[in-house]
Amino acid sequence: MTPTINETAEMLESDFAMFETWEEKYEYLMDLGRNLHWPANRQQSDSMLIRGCQSQVWIGHELNQGKIEFFAASEALIVKGLVAMLLKVYSGHTSADILAFQPDFIARIGLSQHLSPTRSNGLFSMLNAIKSTALAYQNA
């Protein structure tokens, strides 16, 4: 049984809670980034490029038995870590579950500084891309 969005977010939150210093948090975030891989059988296209980031970020998806599987790539390690974190939480769920979830865990992890719409790393834009993908399937 796959964990729910809420359960994954809570797990992630408790993972980050183990680290006391910002250095350890970022090392963990960058480790998440290092383990993010774009599927070999998938093309990256400009339509998957997220605007509003200082580094290039691609988010692609496929629908698998009513669930949306996301995949992502970026040039910057911290951005890869941020998007990997989002994918852990959101990937593999239905559009309804994705849209119902409030991502408060980001603030609780202590990464809310990255969430403002004007931040150049684009976490806000990435979150928007995931939600609008879900919205597209909900209305389909």
Partner 1 sequence: MSLKTANGLSAPARNDWQSIRSDFPLIAGQDLVYFDNAASSQKPKVMLQAMENMVSNSYANVHRGVHALSQQATDQYEAARKTVAQFINAADPAEVVFTAGTTDSINTIAFSFAEAHIQPGDEILISGMEHHANIVPWQLMAQRKSAHIKVIPVLDNGSLDLEAFDALIGPKTKLLSLVWVSNSLGTVNPIPYIIQKAHAYGVPVMVDAAQAAPHMPLNVQAIDCDFLAFSAHKLGGPTGLGVLYGRRALFENLPPYRGGGDMIDRVTFEKTTFQGLPFRFEAGTPHILGAVAFAAVLDYLSNIGMRQIEERERQLSQSLRCQLKADFPEIQLVGTAPDSVSVVSFLVKGHHPLDVGVLLDNQKIAVRTGHHCCQPLMDRFGIPGTVRASLAFYNTEDEIDRFLLALRKTIRLLK
Nearest alpha-carbon partner for 32 in 72, 71, 83, 68: 83
Least Å from the CB of residue 119 to partner 1: 10
Of 5 and 78, CB closest to partner 1: 78
Q: Does 115 bind partner 1 (CB under 8 A)?
A: no
Name the one range near partner 1 by CB under 8 A: 37-45, 49-57, 64-72, 99-107: 49-57
Least Å from the CB of residue 74 to partner 1: 8
State the virtual CA torsion across 37, 107, 89, 54 in degrees, nearest 10.
-30
Of 29, 32, 50, 53, which residue is the catalytic one? 53
Q: Which residues pair with 68 in a beta bridge?
A: 63, 93
Q: Which of 4, 7, 27, 104 binds partner 1 (CB under 8 A)?
A: 27
Cβ–Cβ under 8 Å, residues 46 and 55: no
Question: What single string gives the DSSP state of each residue in 62-122?
Answer: EEETTEEEEEEEESSHHHHHHHHHHHHHHTTB-HHHHHH---THHHHHT-GGG-STT-TT-
Of 14 and 120, CB closest to partner 1: 120
Quote the tokens at residue 28.
């963990």
Name the one range near partner 1 by CB under 8 A: 4-12, 50-58, 87-95, 131-139: 50-58
Q: What residues from 68 to 97 belong to the interface with partner 1 (CB under 8 A)?
A: 75-79
Is 115 annotated in the active site?
no
Q: Are strands 67-74 and 57-64 parallel, antiparallel or unpaired?
A: antiparallel
Catalytically active residues are 53
Q: Which residues bind partner 1 (CB under 8 A)?
A: 22-23, 26-27, 30, 54-56, 75-79, 120-121
